[in-house]
Amino acid sequence: MNGQIYFDNASTTRLCAEALDAMMPHLTECYGNPSSKKYSLGADARSALEKARETVAAALNAEPDEIYFTSGGTESNNWAISGAAQKTPGGAVVVAATEHHAVLKAAAAQKKFGHETVIVPVDGLGFTDTDALRAALEKKAAVVSVMLANNETGTVTRFGPIEQAAHERGVLLHTDAVQAAGHIPIDVKKLNADMLSISAHKFYGPKGVGALYIKRGTDIGPFVFGGSQERGGRAGTENVAGIAGMAEALRTAAAKIPEETERLCALRDRIIGYIKQNIPHAYINGAEGAFRLPGNVNFSMLYVEGDYMLDLFTQSGFCVSSGSACTSGLPGSSHVIDALYAHSPHRGTVKGTARITLGRYNTEREADALLSALPEIVKKLRDNLLYEEFIKSQGK
């Protein structure tokens, strides 16, 4: 294991054996172009592509003709937002404050085409403020985009009220489900979003491949121009190996959701419990229980620098990720943590944030190793003048 324990599964995941097996033929002997249907090399590639489409659709309770393959979550989000925006001239793009940059920046890019961005605030746990969303929708809107689960805090969106608010006004609804797919059950018919993005490398599939679900009858513009692939919406010879790998990865991950949820929630809640009980002036970011992704732990500490926190985890052999408050002005700062602390008395003093994300290949022993290492890490973090002064000032 080369001395490193990987706790950064929200950044990316290790390719599973099922995905690799599904990819291998398409990286070797089955090299035909899916558009060359006259001979069997091409026809075989085509049938692998359509089989993968059926598998992805089945995992989301979608129809195969509602699945469009892309190069990943970023592209799917960009397509959904620009494709929807261009159908409603002058309509706003309405997004939650905690969206991934692939949504926020895609929204901002629509400004030059006459679409302003409206950013809807979240509460202290990261739930979108539905009253603010309704208020935003009193003006003309082209599309609402609210993610299904947050990549930093793990907060799982209460989607029903958001779906109602958007559709009451007849506005198209997109959801970035990149962190949710393969980790929590997704049923597009129940969610009733018009578009939904997924990315293979977040559920043990290969990097550089994803999909956009577009509900039948939803009219959005094409994204990549050229050949007639993906029904003219996304031109370019398909990444057949990647797509086959994604489909197997999603099928496998979806089947494992019940057992993995139980196992990962137990590990997650042990770590969260330890932090709450043993680290003074530490705060868990995001919702808890069923409204938190199974493998996500995210916490902030008062008077700690995020970079130093990350260095200590790295030196102790743990791959984790940071995300400090934006107000700190430091590189790696997070608009997500900032949005959660918008009305908190700790805004400005919460600086160091660590995200520990567990996945399928993490073991109980690895979680034990983290819990054994935490006291020493915390001791080093707490050995700083600002914190000592803060503690003194509390005593007065």
Q: Which is nearer to ligand PLP, 77 or 321 (CB)?
A: 77
Q: Are 383 and 19 in contact (CB under 8 A)?
A: no
- In sequence order, what are the beta bridge partners of 391? none
Q: How far is the CB of 85 from ligand PLP (least distance, A)?
A: 18
Q: Which is nearer to ligand PLP, 108 or 371 (CB)?
A: 108
326 is catalytic: yes
Q: Are 196 and 143 in contact (CB under 8 A)?
A: no
Distance CA 212, CA 235 (A): 14
Q: How far is the CB of 105 from ligand PLP (least distance, A)?
A: 11
The closest alpha carbon to 326, from 310, 308, 341, belongs to: 341
Q: How far is the CB of 77 from ligand PLP (least distance, A)?
A: 6
Q: Which one from 16, 30, 319, 326 is the annotated catalytic residue?
A: 326
Q: Are 150 and 98 in contact (CB under 8 A)?
A: yes
Residues within the interface to ligand PLP (CB under 6 A):
72-74, 77, 100, 102, 147, 151, 176, 178-179, 199, 201-202, 210
Q: How far is the CB of 252 from ligand PLP (least distance, A)?
A: 18
Q: Which is nearer to ligand PLP, 32 or 286 (CB)?
A: 286
Q: How far is the CB of 315 from ligand PLP (least distance, A)?
A: 26
Q: Which is nearer to ligand PLP, 191 or 312 (CB)?
A: 191
Sheet with 141-145, side-by-side order of all strands: 67-70, 210-214, 195-199, 172-176, 141-145, 92-96, 117-120
Chain residue at closest Cβ approach to ligand PLP: 73
Q: How far is the CB of 226 from ligand PLP (least distance, A)?
A: 21
Q: Which is nearer to ligand PLP, 98 or 229 (CB)?
A: 98
Q: Which is nearer to ligand PLP, 46 or 292 (CB)?
A: 292
Catalogue the active-site residues. Answer: 326
